[in-house]
Structure 1
Amino acid sequence: MSGIVGQVRTTPLPPDPQVVADVWGLGADVRWRVSPMFGFAAEYHTGRGLGTYNGGILQMVNVDTLNSIRTSGGWCEAYVYLTPCLHSHWGYGIDDPRDADVTADPLALGRVQNDTYFANLLWDANKVCRVGFEFTWRETIYRSLPENSGAGFHSQVRWSF
């Protein structure tokens, strides 16, 4: 479980007024290790003004009404360890701001839903080095623009100490 309560303040260029918007959020994470080699993980969040915290498709405040944007979303995945150092994760995530809270101005790119499907393969070469590759498919719905979708290919090299 996690949570946040507060306010966000922005200082736009004059003559625009300072925006003070409410922020609150709740989140929950679960992990179920079915066996030493296989399991599931998931997260759910809900709140308002969560753009700074990667919620609301990175939108905090409606630029027309200056009210914070309500949103809910989450993700789930299944993972499998093919060997002790080679594993794969497959999943889906959604971020779904309340449509009425998002600006209709096409120049502001008001996003009302984002879906992501992902699959990866990660190799833990040793305790400090990980190499990986991920494929994602994203579908984004805008309030005033056509839908957009596309693939992403990501590589990863992680060195921890």
Structure 2
Amino acid sequence: MGRSYRVATYVVAAAISSLVATENRAAAPIDPLASLAGRWVGMATMTSMSGPASNFKCVVTYVARQDGVRGMRQTLRCEDGSNFKLHAATDLAVEGDKVTGAWTDKINDIGGTVAGTVTADGFDVQLSGQFFAAHMAVAGQGCDQSVKVLPQDASVFRELAATLKKC
């Protein structure tokens, strides 16, 4: 009886100390953009002010930041197979419900800043730069994602809308 009593006491003590350690440890903040991580593929349509809409294939990849900051690195590569190419990258940092960062367009060698908010299923940001500014909304749920870019200067294009999948 003495030995089983000691073993039971040790088991109970270990369980209690484990619970106390768990309660005292601060929970790691969850990245609200983590569900976007991965490679998304689909079709996009660019609508211009004049002429027909252009369709092309897009691959959007999200990788978690490696610097300890919550957020993602978004890489967007769209091509129509002949003359249209869009290769852009966006570094997104999340603090609370705010999204900040920087964007670059590798084809046109331009870039700027990102500022906006986290939404229930993605983010809604303003891309600002010397030569290009736009509103970008990304929403993803499960295997589906939509990306919409609306430039301030519609002479470039009126809307870029992509429907993507990762499953």
Q: Which has the higher helix share?
A: 2
TM-score bracket, normalised by the shorter chain, equals 0.3 to 0.5
Tell me which of the two structures has the higher relative contact order, counting C-alpha pairs closer than 8 angstroms and 6 or more residues apart.
2
Q: Which has the higher strand share?
A: 1
Q: What TM-score do you get using the length of structure 2 for normalisation?
A: 0.41
Q: What TM-score do you get using the length of structure 1 for normalisation?
A: 0.42
Q: Which is greater in Rg?
A: 2
